[in-house]
Structure 1
Amino acid sequence: MASFSTLPLDLTKEILYRTPAESLVRAKATCKQWNDLIKDKRFIYEHWRRSPERFLRADQTVQILDLVNRTRSDSPIPDELQHSISNVMAMVHCDGLMLCVWSDKEYFMFHNIALWNPLTRNFNVVKHKLARMGDNFGIGYDVNKPRGNYKILMFSANHYCEAVVEIYECMSKSWRTLVDSKFDSEAYPWDHGVSIVGNMYWLVKKKTINYIVAFDFSVETFKDICFFHHLPYDNNYLGCFDGDKLSLLHQNQDYPSPIEVWVSGNLAVGNVTFAKYFSVSSSDLPAFHYLTFWAHPVYCIAKHERIITWFTMFSTCLIICEIDEGGVSNRFVTAQHYWDDCIGTFSCGYVYKPSLVPLPC
C-alpha cells in the first residue's frame, strides 16, 4: 500500500482540502512536506473556501456547531474576554477570523477591538483606539492586492455621533481617517453586517427607505447596493449565500409570522438584484422577534432550498432547526439557561468557517 509521502502533490492537496481544519492543526507535525503545504497561503485560502459553514457562539466556552452532523465542540474563552463576555457587542467573520468588539465593565461607554482566530486560539487586541457607543465595524481587504493585508473599518452609524470614518491597517498597525468617505444613513450597532469577498455589507435606512450599503475596501468608500421599498426595516437579517452573494431573511410579525428568503445576483456588477429564494407560512414557524436585549437569529442557506437557523427562545434556550417551504423540521434545543443565568444568549451566534489564516496584527 502506498504511503501519503509517495502520493502526487495534487492528490495530497485534494485529500487535505477535504480534511477538517481542526485535524490539519494536528497534521502539521506529521512531516515537513505537510507542514509546508498546510502553512502555504494559497492552500490556506483554498481550504477555507471549500470548508462548510458552521455556527459559533461564545458563552462560558467557545462553542462551534457542526451543521452536518449536529455535533458541538467547546474550547476556552480567550483570556481577554473572560470577564467581559457578556459585554461583547459584535463579532464579524472574515476568512475564519473574528473581529471582536466588547466593553470592559469599567468603561461601558467605550469599546475594545481585537482580531481572534477561534481555531488557533490566537487573540490580538487592536491598540490605542477606543470605539464609542454607536460606532459600527467591519473587516475586509483590497481584492487587488495579495490576500492577508486586512483592514478594520470603524464609523458612526447614527445621528447622535459625529460622522467619522476610520480605517485600521493591520500590517502597519496604524489608524487613519477617511476624509472623503462619508456614511449618511442609519444602521444599528447590533446589525453586525456581513463580510463577503473582501467587502462589508449592512442593512440600513435613510429616512423611510430601506436598502443595503457596502463598503469597498479596495477604493475605501461606501456605495448603495439595492433598495427594499416593499419590506419594513425591522425583522430583516442579512447573510452570505454561496460564498460570494448576499441573502436576506425577512419575517412578517403578523401571525403566523411568514418567512421570506431572498438571494442576490453577482455583487460585482453595478446594479445588484435580489430574487425570492423561497417563502413559507406555517403555524409552527418560530418568531424571530427582534428586540435589542434578545439575540438576532443566525442562519445559513443549505441545499434543497432550506435554511438552518439558530435562535433564542424567551432568552432562556437556544434552538436550531431547518426551515423550507414545507415548514420546520429537525428542531431541537442546543442549550438551556435559567432567566438569571443567560450570559451569552444575547449574542446568539455567528456563521463561521474555521481556517488556518494567521492573525495579521
Structure 2
Amino acid sequence: MAYSSTIPTLPLDLLQEILYRTPAESLVRAKWTCKEWNGLINKKRFIYEHLRRSPERFLRVDQTVQVLDPVNRTRSDSPIPDELQPSRSNIRAMVHCDGLMLCIWSDKEYCIFDNIALWNPLTRHFNVVEPRLSQEPQRFLMNDSFGIGYDVNKPRGDYKILMFSASHYGEAVVEIYECMSKSWRTLDGSKVDWEVFPSRNGVSVMGNMYWLVKKKTKNYVICFDFSVEAFKKICFCYDLPYDYNNYLGCFEGDKLSLLQQNQDIPSPIEVWVSSKLADGNVSFTRYFSVASPDLPALRFFTSWARDNTRPVYCINAKHKRIIAWYDRVYTGLVLCEIDEGGVSNQLVTAQHYRDVCVATSFCGYVYKPSLVPLP
C-alpha cells in the first residue's frame, strides 16, 4: 500500500518519463490506475510522443492476431476482429500508420470487390470505411490501391485515406477519404500512368505514402504527399524484377529500406537503404548483401515448397542485420536473424499441426502498438 500511495506524488516530468518507457500494452491497463494517470495517458501529446519512442513489433493475422517483439522474442495473441473472422484468408494487404492498420480484404474467397477499414489492434477498435454512394459499383475493386497518411502542417490525428486505380472503365480514379468528416472527394487532374508492384507493398513514412511502381520498362519509388495531395516520383530504381520479391519498408523512421531476393537457389538477399526522405533528392545505396546457402525464401510466392508466405522483417541499423519472422511449411513460424555471415539465432515461435500452411499470403506486417484513437 505504501508503494501505491507514493506514485501520484512523483513530479509530473518524472511520471511522464516512466510512462513513456512503459509498453503501450501496459498503458491500456495503467491508465485506469487513477484520474491523473488516465488524464495524462489520454493526452494527444503524450500519445504521439510515446509512439515516437516505441520500438517496432511484428503483427500477423492467422488463427489469432499475433504480435511479436522481435528483440525480446515475446509474443501475445488476441482475437481477430469480428468483421475479419470469416475472411481472414482473404486479407489482400494492410498499411500501418501510427499504430493504426488500414485493412484491405474481401469477404468472399473469389471476389473482385474489396472492403477497407481502420483498425487499432491494441485497443481492438475497428471501423469499416464505406465507399461513396455515387461510386459505381458501390464497392472497392480488387485492383484498387490504398494508402493512409496525414497533412504534416495540420494537427496530428486528422488522417486521410487514398484510393487510386487506373482501371475504372479505362480512366484513372484518385480519391481521398477524410477520416474526421467520413467523406470522399475526387482529386481532379491526378495522373496514374504506372502500375504498383504486385505485392502492393506500400509503406507510410512521416505522413506520406510510398510505393514501388513500374512505368513501361522503368521502375520508380513514388510518393503521395498528403500535405499537397499530389503524387511525386522520388527515385528511379535499377534492375528490379516486376514481381512479388521486392519489399519496401521504413528505415530509422525517416528513410526507406528495400529488400530484394530473386528466385535462384540458393537465393541471395540484398538490402538497400535510401537517403533521408525530407532532403528532397532521394537515392538508394546498397547497405549489405547475403549469399549464404541456408537463407530462407523471404518471398510472397516461390517454387520452393518449404516457404510460401509473406515474411515480416525489419532492419537493425546498429548491427546491419535483418530480423525476419516467416512461415515455413511443415515447421511453423520461424524468427531468425540474418547478417552478412548468414542466418543466426533461429527460433520456432509456433508449430504447425497440419501438413500444409494455413496462414494467408499477406498476413505479416511491421507495426507499432499505440493508443492513437480511431478518427
Where on the TM-score scale, by shorter chain, does this alignment land: which range? over 0.9
Distance across 2 between alignment mates of 1:315 and 1:230: 34
Q: Which of residues 205, 217, 220 is equivalent to 2:226?
A: 217
Deviation at 1:40, TM superposition (A): 0.6
The answer for the alignment partner of 2:374 in structure 1 is 359
Q: Which of residues 264, 281, 296 is equivalent to 2:310?
A: 296
Distance across 1 between alignment mates of 2:374 and 2:330: 33
Secondary structure, aligned partner of 2:19: helix
The answer for the alignment partner of 1:305 in structure 2 is 320
TM-score (norm 1): 0.93
Q: How does 1:101-120 map to 2 (within 5 A)?
A: 101-105=104-108, 108-120=111-123
The answer to whether the 8 Å contact 1:181/1:220 transfers is no
1:122 aligns with 2:138: no
The answer to whether the 8 Å contact 1:167/1:176 transfers is yes
Query: Please, which moves more after superposition, 51-60 or 278-287?
Result: 278-287
The answer for the alignment partner of 2:249 in structure 1 is 239
The answer to whether the 8 Å contact 1:93/1:351 transfers is yes
Gap regions ≥5 residues in structure 2: 133-138
Deviation at 1:255, TM superposition (A): 3.3
Query: Please, which moves more after superposition, 177-186 or 39-48?
Result: 177-186
Q: Which of residues 6, 10, 18 is equivalent to 1:7?
A: 10
The answer for the alignment partner of 2:271 in structure 1 is 261
Distance across 1 between alignment mates of 2:150 and 2:330: 36
Deviation at 1:259, TM superposition (A): 1.2
The answer for the alignment partner of 2:340 in structure 1 is 325
Deviation at 1:194, TM superposition (A): 0.4
1:32 aligns with 2:12: no
Query: Please, which moves more after superposition, 201-210 or 104-113?
Result: 104-113
Deviation at 1:105, TM superposition (A): 1.6
The answer to whether the 8 Å contact 1:163/1:183 transfers is yes
Q: How does 1:74-93 map to 2 (within 5 A)?
A: 74-93=77-96
- How many residue pairs match? The answer is 360
Residue type of the alignment partner of 1:134:
N
1:257-286 CA distance string (max 9 Å, x none) = 221111111101221011221111111111
The answer to whether the 8 Å contact 1:169/1:175 transfers is yes
Secondary structure, aligned partner of 1:148: coil
Percent of pairs identical after alignment? Answer: 74
The answer for the alignment partner of 1:43 in structure 2 is 46
The answer to whether the 8 Å contact 1:311/1:348 transfers is no
The answer to whether the 8 Å contact 1:315/1:345 transfers is no
1:312-335 CA distance string (max 9 Å, x none) = 334873322101111111112233
The answer to whether the 8 Å contact 2:197/2:242 transfers is no
Secondary structure, aligned partner of 2:270: strand
Secondary structure, aligned partner of 1:271: coil
CA 1:311–1:106 in 2, change beyond 3 Å: closer, same or farther? closer
Residue type of the alignment partner of 1:356:
L
The answer for the alignment partner of 2:136 in structure 1 is none
Deviation at 1:79, TM superposition (A): 0.8
Secondary structure, aligned partner of 1:268: helix
